[in-house]
Amino acid sequence: MKIMHSLRKRKDTNKAMAEINVTPLVDVMLVLLIIFMVTAPMLSMGIDVNFPKVKSKSVDVTEEKLVLTITDKREIFLNKNKMQLEELNVKLEAIFSNRIDREVFLRADRSVSYGFVVQVMSEIRKAGVDKLGLITEPPEGMK
């Protein structure tokens, strides 16, 4: 009789539980919530930068686009018209006073110093230009 009774107890203890223990699940979810709360503000901080793209379509410059060229002698040309850096702001403001599309393409010689190019870009921005594109040569393999 005792053998039967002990067999019955074993069958009862080997039964699968019908309840799920949610405590580990809640612990993991709270840890994930804390991680996201800490890292989310870090993701939104930064500087707005338009990164260059390797493959892009060529720009059709014949559509009356303004192309500002800086030569290796630091000469500034606005669509083949030579001008000084000081008068660039005034000329651009006059050009864009009746235009909706405020876009300029900048083309600079490789040997021009970075500081001078930034000065020219600053004058372009002061004139109220919304979009400033940089014209470069494609890599040797992409020509």
The predicted structure's pLDDT at residue 5? 54
Is 104 a domain residue? yes
The predicted structure's pLDDT at residue 31? 95
Report residue 57: phi and psi, to 5°: -75, 150
Which residue's structure tokens are 């002990």? 6
pTM of this structure: 0.52
Residue 33 pLDDT level (bands cut at 50, 70, 90)? very high
**What does the DSSP 8-state code read for residue 141?**
G
Kindly state the percentage of the chain with pLDDT values over 70.
71
Assess whether 127 and 82 both reside in one domain: yes
Mean of per-residue pLDDT scores for the chain: 76
Assess whether 77 and 129 both reside in one domain: yes
For the stretch 4-25, what's the b/e string if a residue is b when 16 or more beta carbons lie within 10 angstroms of its beta carbon? eeeeeeeeeeeeeeeeeeeeee
Distances in Å between the alpha carbon of 30 and those of 21, 34, 36, 37? 16, 6, 10, 10
Could you report the per-residue pLDDT of 37-50, keeping only the tens digit for each? 888 777 654 434 34
Is 58 a domain residue? no
Is 122 a domain residue? yes
Q: What residue numbers bound the domain in which 30 lies?
A: 2-44
Assess whether 73 and 110 both reside in one domain: yes
Assess whether 89 and 40 both reside in one domain: no
The answer to whether residue 123 scores a pLDDT higher than 70 is: yes
- Give 78 or 45, the one with higher predicted confidence: 78
Could you report the per-residue pLDDT of 106-116, keeping only the tens digit for each? 888 888 888 88
The answer to whether residue 6 scores a pLDDT higher than 80 is: no
Assess whether 83 and 124 both reside in one domain: yes
Which residue's structure tokens are 């020219």? 120
Assess whether 39 and 72 both reside in one domain: no
Domain count, the chain: 2
The predicted structure's pLDDT at residue 34? 93
CATH code of the domain containing 77: 3.30.420.270
Q: Where are the beta strands (DSSP E) in the chain?
A: 66-70, 76-78, 81-83, 103-108, 131-134
Is 14 a domain residue? yes
